[in-house]
Chains A and B, each alone.
Chain A
Amino acid sequence: NAGVTQTPKFRVLKTGQSMTLLCAQDMNHEYMYWYRQDPGMGLRLIHYSVGEGTTAKGEVPDGYNVSRLKKQNFLLGLESAAPSQTSVYFCASSFWGTGYNEQFFGPGTRLTVL
């Protein structure tokens, strides 16, 4: 099992460019999450999904969109990148609801917006 994988690992964008980050999991998990991590801020939830075809907003959703067309994939899109979106992005998944189940994290994507 590969667990949770993220593509790409690193990316540099110019302001205004768009990109999509891909998260894939092979554990048949229902729940998937996108976080951003900035120095001193911990992990902040951007969007999450409780199943195929569903998405919901987290704490910091502005400037991002997501899609979950297949159960194993969760895509995070930046339509018009801004320097404030420079961050490390982590995807995570869990079997069922977060109350009882651990979250498995991917290795992260380091994004720089110039």
Chain B
Amino acid sequence: QQPVQSPQAVILREGEDAVINCSSSKALYSVHWYRQKHGEAPVFLMILLKGGEQKGHDKISASFNEKKQQSSLYLTASQLSYSGTYFCGTRGTGTASKLTFGTGTRLQVTL
């Protein structure tokens, strides 16, 4: 079953912050985050492993609450280059080797 992402879409002005959530109905081993610009391939942002560790990459960070089977992606002081569709991919505790992706969150950053 696909994880549920929210919101489905968000529009920000440059410099504003955003949070994208990813929720699963099954126990998770890890959560991946990817960004896809229009007409391009998805690009890896970060992995969060079981353990609740928070990761960061420049002004983009994420958290993973394994008890709630949820992850959140935090975009701080958004830039025009952050525009795109963000996907979470989840790996369950009983499944090796493959991810199940959410339906995506479309983020548009404007001037």
Contacts and interface: CB of A to CB of B under 8 A. Distances in A.
Contacts of B30: 98-100
A105 B100 contact: no
Interface residues of A, number: 27
Given A100-B30, A106-B41, A45 B100 contact: yes
Contacts, number: 61
Contacts of A106: 41
Contacts of B101: 35, 42-44
B61 interface: no
B2 interface: yes
A12 B47 CA distance: 36
Give the contact-size bracket for chain B: 20 to 34
Nearest to B3: A42
A67 B100 CA distance: 22
B47 A90 contact: no
A103 B97 contact: no
B69 to A, nearest CB: 15
B99 A103 contact: yes
A74 interface: no
A104 B43 CA distance: 7
B83 to A, nearest CB: 18
A33 B34 CA distance: 16
Contacts of B42: 43, 90, 105
A23 B60 CA distance: 31
Interface of B: 2, 29-30, 32, 34, 40-44, 47, 49, 87, 89, 91, 96-104
